[in-house]
Structure 1
Amino acid sequence: MFSILAFPALPLASPACSSARPARHSRDHKPRRNSATEPSCLLLLLGVVCLRVKMPKRKCKFSVKLQKKYTCFRRGRDDFEGECMICKPGTFVSVACKGGLNLQSHVDSEKHKRAIQGEASFLTDFFVTPGSNLEDEVTAAEGTFAFHTVKHHNNYNMMVCTSGPLRTTFPDYDIARIFSSAKTKTEALVNSVLAPDCLENVLKSIEENEVDFCGVSTGGSDHGSVKVFPIVIQYFDWKSGGLQSKIIEMQSQPNESADTISSYVKETLDSKGLLNKCIAFTGDNCNTMFGGMPWDSEGRNVFAKLKNELDNKTLIGVGCPAHILNNCVQQAAETLDVDVEGILFRIYQYFHIYRVRTEQLKEYCEFVDIEYKQLLSHSKTRWLSLFPSITRLVHLFPAVKAFFLSQNKPPTVLKNFFEHEFSEVYLLHLQSLMSIFHSNILELERENNSVVEVLKVLLCVHNMLTERKSNNFMCLKVKSLLAEKRKHGLSAECDKFCAEVNSLYGSCIEYLEKWMEPMKEFSCFMWMSLSESLEWDKVESSMKFLLDRHVSIDYGKCFDQFFNLRKFVNRYKGDEEFINLQAHQKWAKYFETSENMCQSELLKIAQVFFAIAPHNANVERIFSLMQSQWSKERGNLPFESLRSILLVQYNYKHFTCKEFHAYLLSNKQLLNRIRSTEKYA
């Protein structure tokens, strides 16, 4: 940008003159100025070459072309400078003089390179490449932690501090560094992704595996002013392992009238496309559900209204046998002279919040050489609380009796009970009776039981009670105490007690026979337990049951398939592992090993049979899950979140957290839904 200019020749002084010294002059004499002696003139005279800078005609601007080339820059404070977005804020580079060269010079500087390294580290910690394996792993981890929180009844607040410890504990693990899912995101994942997915999978499985029949169960539970009604369906899908029980809806209703419940059930089934597949309804034994005993199929109850609204006059109704056994022993206990249930409740209330009384009871236990154990509560609405409560009181009886009889002013009811000569005898006999009901209720409530397995339990209880009544059975300790009472001249009281025992057994048997009546119609399916040798005439009785309910079975095909089934059962005869399987597991194993030509009619029978829910225990399990979530600590949990939690917990109960992680990684569509911002809508 520089040029050498030659100036034109100028007249020069003679060498003599230029080399001669100037003459001295007096102070007042002013010499004549010679232009040749000035510096500028001298340069011109000597012909010195000067360098002249060529100035640009205009300044360079930060153009769009420059910004496209140097993407880390944006327009600065004016058109003649750019701001670096990598370096710290306020780093401006002028382009007025050299244009792009100025920007390139900044990009090549050490300062800019150090800033790039820091920015790359930041982006690596918080962002991943869309569609990469790392993105899928991070998404699956967030979905798995949301599932883990729900499955193990944890609070969503736990996820607030989960991301931080993961990053600090596993700093070298990319997934842990990028993982980010706190309370709001976790709740959104459960409500908007996992809950809809589990419901979609249920309906998809029913459609793809050609499940033609299902049964429905419901019941109500109060939480404050909210009345919750879950709807559970049951069906048989051998490709998924056999009998399936799933929640398809859970809503609160304004009341628990038969009209409200029946309409709610019908609308739910219709919206899920299951209305025409429903062949059975199961509920508890209250009048709202069935109108009392026998079932009223024409009255104003849920069962009758569903038969009309579903346009299915052959709808099968099933009460809850667990309720039957629980109510059976409670009804019978009321025939005794002593209100044992009331006594248990009063004793528990007397101690459970009073520390001083409990410490005094411990001293009495130590005095009579009995190990102290906390007294247990009993509630009439709990099926399995009476037996443990009685057992604990029997264990502590000497200490508790001594405690109350030594008090100055004990409760009159408790004082009268412990002063009664037969108080311990009543407790021991009721404990002996409750042992039958307790063990059989546990067996009856077993998950995925079939109707025949439940019916076997009821028949077993009935047989045991009948044998006890005929032999006026009492345990050895009761007989020993009665013998001592007779020695003390209490023979009349002992005879009276024996009469009460006989009456107690009679009341149990009478109540059980009355409420077992609706279950006896399923006795034609006893062969489906596959625990005994099969006979064709028993299969024919099942076919007649189905034909009466408009389920058509091809007689010839069924006959041929039956003999293939019999060969299968005979093959496993004596195999303890096979014998101990539940009925639905045996049938699932048969369909897995048989050919399609040996399945059609038997599969139809199995689908109808296993669609009949034999009890309402599955609905009660949901209420237990609900109470564990809707606790005092989580009293403000929204109902929509509670619904989603229960859907995921119940419908995905077959998944472990590790298996669920693998499920997420195999489902790209679900991963995309987890990543999407629509989950917050």
Structure 2
Amino acid sequence: MPKRKCKFSVKLQKKYTCFRRGRDDFEGECMICKPGTFVSVACKGGLNLQSHVDSEKHKRAIQGEASFLTDFFVKPGSSLEDEVTAAEGTFAFHTVKHHNNYNMMVCTSGPLRTTFPDYDIARIFSSAKTKTEAIVNSVLAPDCLENVLKSIEENEVDFCGVSTGGSDHGSVKVFPIVIRYFDWKSGGLQSKIIEMQSQPNESADTISSYVKETLDSKGLLNKCIAFTGDNCNTMFGGMPWDSEGRDVFAKLKNELDNKTLIGVECPAHILNNCVQQAAETLDLDVEGILFRIYQYFHIYRVRTGQLKEYCEFVDIEYKQLLSHNKTRWLSLFPSIARLIHLFPAVKAFFLSQNKPPTVLKNFFEHEFSDVYLLHLQSLMSIFHSNILELERENNSVVEVLKVLLCVHNMLTERKRNNFMCLKVKSLLAEKRKHGLSAECDKFCAEVNSLYDRCIEYLEKWMEPMKEFSCFMWMSLSESLEWDKVESSMKFLLDRHVSIDYGKCFDQFFNLRKFVNQYKGDDEFINLQAHQKWAKYFETSENMCQSELLKIAQFFFAIVPHNANVERIFSLMQSQWSKEGGNLPFESLRSILLVQYNYEHFTCKEFHAYLLSNKQLLNKIRSTEK
């Protein structure tokens, strides 16, 4: 008598969930293996199904299925989910840090999946333009600002300085607000953007209210002890400063109810304006000539091609002429140097034209045109190198003052010695031989007037900076004397900052001991002032810090120049150019906050930072962004 067949029962299906009913009651179909994989249960029932489950074929199918599902689903809260989120956040940071266009992310996910097919994170990674922009705008930018304010509070930073300036982009007037403070636990001086908004106009009322409201909203109003801006009349009212309170600085003093608020006009602008003002005493308008020559060639291929031919004829390597902008501190020197390099070819070009511009024709026909250029280049070399030194990001106000004093001393010595470079002297000697002695004497008189105007202008605009000379000892580059510290304490006392005299005296001698151990140490000597002080606080005990830390925090909060704001403008123009001007302002603001405030992070370090911050990862994953 034949044995009764087993059926694929409900009981078997509950036990072996990867099976469903097959073509009849005596079969089960495996849903893991490829479609059409039927297993007969007629003979042994559940044993047949178990035999299939234990087979190598079924195990390989399970692995393949798991891999397939992983491409689309990640278990919430798993380490893989965190890795994927951190990767998406890091790529967003990478895009911003390296000034890339968001459109780059459109084709990033696909190549990652195909290039690294065996890497789970690459297969799951999914962040194109829209998501990347959302991560930067809604997560990274707020986080970097939150970290700034958090570090100020946690590290007990009592003082900060603020700087701002305006830049136009079409009809949009953009004003970033940058604060500066000393936090030795974070490495010393910190410069951070706390806000960047467009304003309807550039009036003193608008700017001062905007600065005050921003400081108030960030909880920094009572910590602000200094304001820095460029040298336009809107900011400080000219020299002498406006006594009627119509400029931003005066209005801020009133709105902050801080009559001792310190104002610093940008010394980089002072040096730039100094040489421009002095150049106006010359018989030739060299700046105007540079601008006209550049405009004559820069968009005209035919003219540029002809100039290249003249360069070949006089055996000079052609290099593109450079533009000079009156408001850009470092553009005049390279512009003059480039024209001097091309001078024989450019002169021959214009004098060979049938109807050249009259101003340029007169310039190149002038017997002393090359002499003027060479002397102005020699003078500009002083300003160019010192502006580079002055505008370093983390300079202190005394380091800037030292640069200004250095420029003043060099100009004074040049005037005293009637200094002209050897090339100029050689050309003057040749011209005297050709009967141009009167013209040479006139040029020498102009050189003296040039030095006089430079020195006069510099002394006038340096005067407000001299009040900071009581802090010269804080550069820690000379022997320390207690009486110099006392003058700093008086400066602070006049601004309602109290210092415990006895504690400060004891702490000072500990500082002097620290400095003396680095005598002759070039590595320490070459550090910036804030780095030396950070090093001291890192190695000293808390009992040796309180009063000196208060002095250091106040001193380093004084913003010595507006170069950091100018750097932000450069970043802004670069980013807007990359996006073809179509980047929404909110996205631009977020990009600059991340670029500037997180500049200390490498992409690798930022990835580690994200992985260590579960809350930030959750924000990146959140649909609220």
Question: TM-score range with shorter-chain normalisation?
Answer: over 0.9
1:622, CA displacement in angstroms?
0.4
Distance 1:185 1:56, change over 3 A: farther
Two-structure CA RMSD over aligned residues (Å): 3.5
1:63, CA displacement in angstroms?
14
Structure 2 CA distance for aligned equivalents of residues 311 and 98 of structure 1: 93
1:655, CA displacement in angstroms?
0.8
Is the partner of 2:523 in helix, strand or coil?
helix
Q: Which moved more, 1:103-112 or 1:147-156?
A: 103-112
Q: Rg: which structure is higher? A: 1
Deviations 1:113-156 (A, max 9, x none): 99866543321222222222222222111111111100000011
Structure 2 CA distance for aligned equivalents of residues 61 and 257 of structure 1: 89
Structure 1 CA distance for aligned equivalents of residues 368 and 494 of structure 2: 55
Distance 1:58 1:646, change over 3 A: farther
Give yes or no for contact 2:157–2:182 (8 Å, CA) kept in 1.
yes
1:648, CA displacement in angstroms?
0.3
Distance 1:102 1:536, change over 3 A: same
Distance 1:115 1:296, change over 3 A: same
Give yes or no for contact 1:562–1:602 (8 Å, CA) kept in 2.
yes
Give yes or no for contact 1:525–1:542 (8 Å, CA) kept in 2.
yes
Q: Structure 2: which 5+ residue stretches go unaligned? A: none
Given the alignment, which residue of 406, 411, 414 partners 1:468? Answer: 414
Q: Which moved more, 1:618-627 or 1:288-297?
A: 288-297
Structure 2 CA distance for aligned equivalents of residues 436 and 474 of structure 1: 13
Q: Which moved more, 1:116-125 or 1:341-350?
A: 116-125
Residue aligning to 2:561: 615
Deviations 1:1-41 (A, max 9, x none): xxxxxxxxxxxxxxxxxxxxxxxxxxxxxxxxxxxxxxxxx
Structure 2 CA distance for aligned equivalents of residues 80 and 263 of structure 1: 84
Give yes or no for contact 2:307–2:345 (8 Å, CA) kept in 1.
yes
Structure 1 CA distance for aligned equivalents of residues 8 and 567 of structure 2: 70
Give yes or no for contact 1:134–1:175 (8 Å, CA) kept in 2.
yes
Is the partner of 1:377 in helix, strand or coil?
coil
Deviations 1:19-69 (A, max 9, x none): xxxxxxxxxxxxxxxxxxxxxxxxxxxxxxxxxxxx999999999999988
Distance 1:126 1:544, change over 3 A: same
Is the partner of 2:71 in helix, strand or coil?
helix
Give yes or no for contact 1:373–1:392 (8 Å, CA) kept in 2.
yes
Deviations 1:315-374 (A, max 9, x none): 111110000000111111111110101111111111112222222212211221212111
1:606, CA displacement in angstroms?
0.2
Distance 1:476 1:122, change over 3 A: same
Distance 1:67 1:506, change over 3 A: farther
1:634, CA displacement in angstroms?
3.1
TM-score, normalised to structure 1, is: 0.85
Structure 2 CA distance for aligned equivalents of residues 604 and 257 of structure 1: 35
Distance 1:109 1:585, change over 3 A: closer
Residue aligning to 2:483: 537
1:77, CA displacement in angstroms?
17
Deviations 1:71-130 (A, max 9, x none): 779999999999999799999999999999999999999999998665433212222222
Structure 2 CA distance for aligned equivalents of residues 226 and 98 of structure 1: 81
Distance 1:594 1:411, change over 3 A: same
1:156 aligns with 2:123: no
Is the partner of 1:300 in helix, strand or coil?
coil
Give yes or no for contact 2:101–2:578 (8 Å, CA) kept in 1.
no
Structure 2 CA distance for aligned equivalents of residues 260 and 77 of structure 1: 81
Distance 1:154 1:68, change over 3 A: farther
Is the partner of 1:606 in helix, strand or coil?
helix
Give yes or no for contact 1:249–1:268 (8 Å, CA) kept in 2.
yes
Give yes or no for contact 1:297–1:303 (8 Å, CA) kept in 2.
no
Structure 2 CA distance for aligned equivalents of residues 80 and 646 of structure 1: 69
Deviations 1:495-554 (A, max 9, x none): 111111100111111111111111010000000000000011110100000000000001
Give yes or no for contact 2:101–2:579 (8 Å, CA) kept in 1.
no
Structure 1 CA distance for aligned equivalents of residues 42 and 213 of structure 2: 74
Is the partner of 1:98 in helix, strand or coil?
coil
Distance 1:326 1:86, change over 3 A: same
Distance 1:559 1:83, change over 3 A: same
State the identity %. Answer: 96
Structure 2 CA distance for aligned equivalents of residues 314 and 419 of structure 1: 56
Residue aligning to 1:394: 340
Give yes or no for contact 1:236–1:611 (8 Å, CA) kept in 2.
yes
Distance 1:435 1:79, change over 3 A: farther
Distance 1:298 1:120, change over 3 A: same
TM-score, normalised to structure 2, is: 0.92
Structure 1 CA distance for aligned equivalents of residues 51 and 139 of structure 2: 51
1:619, CA displacement in angstroms?
0.5
Distance 1:102 1:330, change over 3 A: same
Number of residue pairs matched by the alignment = 625
Q: Structure 1: which 5+ residue stretches go unaligned? A: 1-54
